[in-house]
Amino acid sequence: MKHIFIINPAAGSRNYYETVKQAIEECGQDFDHEFYETTSPMDACAYIREYCSNYTLPVRFYACGGDGTLNEVVNGAAGFENAEVACVPTGSGNDYVKYYGPKAEFMNIANSIEGTPFPADLLKIGDRYSINVINFGFDSVVAETISKVKRKKIIGGKHSYTTGIVKGLVVGMKSKCVVTVDGEALNNDVMLLCTVANGTHVGGSFKCAPRSLNNDGLAEVSLFRPISRITFARLVKAYEKGEHLDDPRFAKYITYRRGKLIECESPEEKFAVSVDGEMIYTNKFSIEVIPNAIKFVVPKTLVESYLAKHSEEPEAAVK
C-alpha cells in the first residue's frame, strides 16, 4: 500500500512538516510513503482526486493538520474505493479523532501504519462533505473567530476557542433559522445554535454529540433555543462534558433528534455555516447522511475500544 502524508503548513500554531517527517523516521517502519504539502485552500482535495483518478492500487492518505485539513482529505478521497483516510492531528482542535480516543495514539505514526480502516458515514451539504460536525448560529461566530486568531499570541492557539466564545457572547446569542429533521420542524424561528454531528466533539473540548455512532446512517441533531448569558455561563461546563442530553436543566432549552435529512432555512442572505470548522455562507441548505462513505483508519491501539463501542466483530473491519 502507498502511504501519502498530506501536510497543511497553515494548520495549528506552526508548520509541523519537520515534526511529521521526524515521527515517521522514528517509528521504525519501512514502508512506501511520500509527502505532499498543500499550498492553498482545497488544494489537498484537488490533489487527492487527481491522484486517485490515475492510481487504482490501495492508497492511504494521512491528513496532517487540523479538522480543516482532514475535511479536505475526506472530500478528495470520497468516492474512491481504493482510498483510505488516516490522521496525524497537528492542528489546534482536531475534534474528529476524539471520537476514537486520545490524540496521542494518532500521533504515533506506527499506530496508524498498522491501523485498521473502518467504514464511516459522511454528512453532505451541497457539493461538500463533512466527517465531523456541521454547526451554525452561536458556533459559527466561534468558528469564524477561531480561524482569524488561531496563530495569534495569547488569544490564539489553545485559547482560540475561548476567544471565539467571548465573541459569541457579544454578538452570537440569537440567530434566525428554521431546522427540520426528516420532516419535523424543531423550531419556529430563532435559536442559539444547532449542531449536526457525525463525530462527538467540537471546539477542541466540547462533547456536543455524546451518543454519536459514526456508522449508523444517522446524524445527531441538537438545537438550542436562545438563552441568557447568565444561563449560558451556568450550563456551559455540563455541555462541554457532554452531559446536556441527560441533565434535566437542559430540557427546556434543547431539542435532540437523530435523522437522515436535515433541512435549514434562514432569512439572512449570507447565513454562516461551519463545516468541520471551515466556513460557507448560504441561507437555505440541506444536510444528508451518506452511509459508509469513507474508510477511516483507526490506530492499532484503539481498534479494540472502537469495536467495543460499535459492538462489532473484528471481521467487520474493512480490509
pLDDT tens-digit map of 62-97: 999 999 999 999 999 999 999 999 999 988 789 999
Within 10 Å of residue 307's Cβ, how many Cβ atoms?
17
List, in order of start, the domains of the chain with CATH numbers: 2-121+293-316 (3.40.50.10330), 130-290 (2.60.200.40)
The H or E element spanning position 295 is strand 284-298
Judge whether residue 317 has pLDDT over 50.
no
For residue 122, give the H/E element and its range: strand 116-125
Q: pLDDT band at residue 148, thresholds of 50, 70 and 90?
A: confident
Total residues found in the chain within this entry:
319
| pLDDT tens track for 298-313 | 999 999 999 999 975 4
The answer to whether residues 14 and 90 touch, using CB atoms and an 8 Å cutoff, is no
Q: Say what the pTM is.
A: 0.91
| Mean pLDDT, range 244-269, rounded to an integer | 97
Question: 158 vs 145, 164, 176, CA distance in Å?
Answer: 13, 11, 30
